[in-house]
Amino acid sequence: MRIIVVGLNHRTAPVEVRERLSFTRDRIEPAYEALHGGPVRECVILSTCNRTEIYAVVEKYHAGLEAVKSFLSSFHGVERAAFEDHLYVLSGSEAVTHLGRVACGLDAMILGETQILGQVKDAYMAAVDCGAVGKVLHNLFEHSLRVGKRAHSETGISQNAVSVSYAAVELARKVFSSLQGRKAMIIGAGEMSELTAQHLVQAGVGEVIVANRTWERASELAARFDGRAVPFSEIVDWLSRVDIVISSTGAPHVIIKYDAMREALRARRFRPIFLIDIAVPRDIDPEVQSLDGVYLYDIDDLKSVVAANLRERQREAEKVEEIIREETGVFEAWLNSLEVVPIIRSLRQKAEDIRKREVQRAFNKLPDLTERERKVIEAMTSLIVNKLLNDPLLKIKEFANGSQGRLYIETVSELFNLGEREDESDVAKVEGGG
């Protein structure tokens, strides 16, 4: 039994290949029907715009891999040659670690993004609905969801905005102790300012004031935020009353001038004001930055904040890797214990079979034994078998939890020639568990 992952992502394959191998929601059921069964005992298909991955529990590595690859080819009607070079195949603990990294967003296009965790969960749920998940993948996916949650709560991997509009909100948070009840003014009702305003309102900004050249658009946007539209000519008056200004007009000249800002500041008694200028050419005279209490950011500044935030996430990634290592160890210990139970059972069974057979042979050769003598021989042979097996059985349990657990289990299985029939009972067990 082996866990494998076969897949491709934004790094290994161009979009032309990814789109041909992606699974849409409405075709997921037939996909599971085609993939599940045969050498593929359990499977989960994870398909997002950046990746298509198939997690599978297979009996034999090569047969399983073949089955998954030919499924990909026949289901999508794509020749294997067209995608095989872009595939990566991982198995065992590497596959477990990989899913952990995917769930945490370490493998994502935007480092530490949180959306993928939901996508992993959805993919898992869909596989459960289609009956493709057994005991092993059930535990594997629960494990990865736990890893993802831990990464987001215990590290800063998903902290600090990596989009320009959200970076603006975070900067505002570095100035104001709270955004609760603050006033924001939007000048020029573009898409970008709308998005930023939306983030601000979510963060607690109480009142939104919209100024736009066309009155209609201003009142429309104001209505969306339960705010207030004001004429363009009143902008300067409002500077003394709002805490945050987002400006993105198409005006060819400066709208907020240095002198106006200085006047406004005096009226505000130097309470800080936070200005975001995402217009090109710029709407706010950059000179205002020299005034006390003015924090002004243009589009390039915001982009450099995003770059800095990404570097900060990079540093946190190390800690996430540590969590993944830790949790992978826990999962593997469980996986090994799963395999050790049938091994122990069949080792006992084999010894008992041999004992019974040989005792019967001896009895056949010695027909004159009394009932008491027979009992003594039975008891003695049982004792020999049990005492002989006692240490190895204890040791197997112990080794199974070690880092080399798999190797020991395989060795014991080979040594006592337990392999073939073990696999049968294992299948029954795993499928019964799902």
Partner 1 sequence: MGYEYVLYGIAILFYGAASAALVGYVYFKRWGQWARVLTWAAWSLHTVALLLRVVETGRPPLLYLFETVSFFTWLVMLNYLVLELVLGLQVVGVFVVPVTALLLLTAGTLPRGALAAAPWLHGSWVMAHVSLGVLSYGGFALAFIAGVMYLIQDWQLRRKEFRPMYYRMPPLEVLDSMGYYLILFGFPLLTLALLSGSLGAIPVWGGAWGTDPKVIWSLFTWVIYALYLYLRLVRGWGGRRAAVLAVVGFGAVLFNFFVINLYMTELHRYVNL
The catalytic residue positions are: 49
Window of 186-194, 244-252, 285-293, 384-392 that interacts with partner 1 by CB under 8 A: 285-293
Could you give the 3-state DSSP secondary structure of residue 142?
helix
- Is residue 171 involved in binding partner 1 (CB under 8 A)? yes
Cα–Cα distances in angstroms (integers) from residue 140 to residues 65, 128, 332, 399, 423, in the given order: 19, 13, 9, 21, 20
- Is residue 163 involved in binding partner 1 (CB under 8 A)? no
What is the DSSP track for 183-225?
EEEEES--HHHHHHHHHHHHTT--EEEEE-SSHHHHHHHHHHT
For partner 1, give the closer residue by CB, 215 or 270: 270
Pick the closest to residue 246 from 293, 194, 285, 287 (CA basis). Answer: 194
Report the nearest approach of partner 1 to the CB of residue 262 (Å): 15
- List the Cα angle 402/408/414 in 5-degree steps: 165
Report the nearest approach of partner 1 to the CB of residue 195 (Å): 21
Report the nearest approach of partner 1 to the CB of residue 134 (Å): 37
For partner 1, give the closer residue by CB, 24 or 178: 178
Window of 49-57, 170-178, 381-389, 412-420 that interacts with partner 1 by CB under 8 A: 170-178
Report the nearest approach of partner 1 to the CB of residue 283 (Å): 18
Residues 90, 65 contacting (CB under 8 angstroms): no
Helix (H) or strand (E) holding 55: strand 51-58
Residue the block writes with tokens 């990079």:
314
- Is residue 183 involved in binding partner 1 (CB under 8 A)? no
**Biggest CA-to-CA distance, the chain:** 121
- Is residue 153 involved in binding partner 1 (CB under 8 A)? no
- Within residues 358-387, the interface with partner 1 by CB under 8 A covers none
Residues 39, 59 contacting (CB under 8 angstroms): yes
Q: Which two tokens stand for residue 337?
A: 């214990």
Cα–Cα distances in angstroms (integers) from residue 262 to residues 268, 271, 359, in the given order: 10, 12, 105
Q: Which of 160, 165, 193, 328 binds partner 1 (CB under 8 A)?
A: 160
Pairing relationship of beta strands 273-277 and 244-247 according to DSSP bridges? parallel
Q: Which of 173, 183, 213, 355 binds partner 1 (CB under 8 A)?
A: 173
- Is residue 175 involved in binding partner 1 (CB under 8 A)? yes
Q: Listing from the earlier edge strand, what are the strands of the sheet with 207-211?
A: 228-230, 207-211, 183-187, 244-247, 273-277, 294-298
The dihedral formed by the CA atoms of 404, 408, 409 and 412, expressed in degrees to the nearest 10: 180
Residues 395 and 399: their CA atoms lie apart, in Å, by 6
For partner 1, give the closer residue by CB, 218 or 302: 302
Task: Give the contacts of 32 (CB within 8 A, at least 6 positions apart).
Answer: 43, 45, 127, 130, 131, 132
Report the nearest approach of partner 1 to the CB of residue 168 (Å): 13
Binding string, residues 212-251; x marks residues near partner 1 by CB under 8 A: ----------------------------------------
- Within residues 292-331, the interface with partner 1 by CB under 8 A covers 292-293, 295, 297, 301, 304-305, 308-309, 312, 315-316, 319
Q: Which of 93, 119, 240, 289 binds partner 1 (CB under 8 A)?
A: 289
Report the nearest approach of partner 1 to the CB of residue 151 (Å): 13
**Bond before 231 cis per omega within 30 degrees:** no
Could you give the 3-state DSSP secondary structure of residue 130?
coil
- Within residues 247-276, the interface with partner 1 by CB under 8 A covers 269-272
For partner 1, give the closer residue by CB, 271 or 345: 271
Q: Which of 16, 62, 81, 177 binds partner 1 (CB under 8 A)?
A: 177
Of the chain, the end-to-end C-alpha distance in Å amounts to 15
For partner 1, give the closer residue by CB, 60 or 315: 315
Report the nearest approach of partner 1 to the CB of residue 162 (Å): 13
For partner 1, give the closer residue by CB, 156 or 392: 156
Helix (H) or strand (E) holding 410: helix 405-415
- Is residue 156 involved in binding partner 1 (CB under 8 A)? yes
Report the nearest approach of partner 1 to the CB of residue 299 (Å): 12
Q: Which of 176, 232, 238, 258 binds partner 1 (CB under 8 A)?
A: 176
Report the nearest approach of partner 1 to the CB of residue 147 (Å): 17
- Within residues 63-92, the interface with partner 1 by CB under 8 A covers none
For partner 1, give the closer residue by CB, 243 or 426: 243
What is the DSSP track for 300-327?
HHHHHHHHHHHHHHHHHHHHHHHHHHHH
Contact footprint for partner 1 (CB under 8 A)? 155-156, 160, 171, 173-178, 269-272, 289, 292-293, 295, 297, 301, 304-305, 308-309, 312, 315-316, 319
